Each structure stands twice: as structure tokens, then as C-alpha cells.
């Protein structure tokens, strides 16, 4: 993880993009995916945790982002079409804005020891339960050093 982080981090640092800033436009996000050198080899999860992870998108928020965007965590970056890219950008904005407004996740605490109010759609209890959108059973895989929860019905 550390090696990956060091390899990718300067790219994001240079862009100074945070997911909730006005500069994080669809056009810029699309350009990031387009310019990504390993897009034919790496998955969207890899891209998201090794890049924007620096900007505050952790593995847990990523579950909800990919769910909202209806994209499977193992999809190659190069395979993501324009419509999906737009959905993904919207899902990042929506998820991170909600997370900040609600003071973080319910399973983490702030400086004053108050729990956050952001309820994750796909958390560790989601596995085996029906998808809130389509009713398909949520699956869990171990992938890239962390658990990935996803709906095999919605996320392709």
C-alpha cells in the first residue's frame, strides 16, 4: 500500500482536488480517468483508493460510492464509459458531501467523541442482506487489502 501511495500521491497533490471542492468537476474527473497510465490494467477500486484516497475517500465510503454509481469494484478503469463516469463523479460528490454534513460515519467519532450520523449503505453488516435497491443478496469479497461489499444485481 505504501509503495502505491507514494507512486500516485504526487499526482493528486499537484491537482489539489478535493472531492467536495467546486474544482472537482466532471470534466476534470473524466480527464483523470482518461490520463491514468494504468487504466488498462487497474480496477476502479485501485484507482480510487490509491488516488483520491489521499483526498479523504476511504475504503468504507468507496463501497457506497460504487454502489450509487452501479459499478463493480473490479471494473477496469478503461472500461468505464462516459455515462458511468458521470454517475461515478456524481456519486463521489453526493457521498462525500453527505458524509461531511453528517459529521462522518456512525461507526467513527469526532474530536468531541460524538459519533457521526452518516449511515453506510454497504457496511460490514450488509453481507447476506438484500440490496436496498433491487433485493439481490449483497456479497463480500476480499480485494486489494480490504473488504469490498457490492450488489451483484446493481453493480456490473
Q: Within 10 A of 128 (CB to CB), how many other CB atoms are there?
A: 9
Please state, in angstroms and rounded to a whole number, the distance separating the CA atoms of residues 27 and 129.
36
**Which of 91/131 has CB closer to Zn ion?**
131
Q: 115 and 106 in contact (C-beta within 8 Å)?
A: yes
* Closest distance of CB 15 from Zn ion, Å: 33
Smallest distance from the beta carbon of 68 to Zn ion, in angstroms? 11
**Nearest-5° angle of CA 113, CA 93, CA 8?**
85
Select 54 or 147, whichever has its Cβ closest to Zn ion.
147
Closest to Zn ion by CB, 99 vs 138, is 138
Cβ proximity to Zn ion: between 43 and 155 the closer is 155
Least distance in angstroms from the C-beta of 38 to Zn ion: 29
Closest CA relative to residue 131, chosen from 141, 140, 144, 118: 140
Q: What is the binding site for Zn ion (CB under 5 A)? A: 131, 133-134, 136, 151, 153-154
Amino acid at each position: 500500500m505504501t509503495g502505491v501511495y507514494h507512486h500516485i500521491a504526487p499526482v493528486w497533490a499537484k491537482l489539489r482536488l478535493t472531492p467536495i471542492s467546486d474544482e472537482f468537476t466532471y470534466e476534470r474527473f473524466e480527464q483523470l480517468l482518461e490520463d491514468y497510465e494504468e487504466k488498462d490494467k487497474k480496477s476502479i477500486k485501485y484507482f480510487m483508493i490509491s488516488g483520491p484516497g489521499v483526498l479523504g475517500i476511504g475504503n468504507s465510503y468507496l463501497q457506497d460510492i460504487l454502489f450509487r454509481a452501479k459499478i463493480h469494484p473490479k471494473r477496469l478503469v478503461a472500461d468505464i464509459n462516459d455515462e458511468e463516469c458521470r454517475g461515478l463523479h456524481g456519486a463521489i460528490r453526493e457521498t462525500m458531501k453527505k458524509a461531511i454534513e453528517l459529521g462522518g460515519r456512525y461507526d467513527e467519532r469526532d474530536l468531541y467523541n460524538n459519533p457521526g450520523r452518516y449511515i453506510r449503505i454497504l457496511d460490514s453488516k450488509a453481507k447476506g442482506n438484500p440490496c436496498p435497491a433491487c433485493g439481490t443478496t449483497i456479497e463480500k469479497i476480499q480485494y486489494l487489502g480490504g473488504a469490498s461489499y457490492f450488489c451483484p444485481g446493481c453493480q456490473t
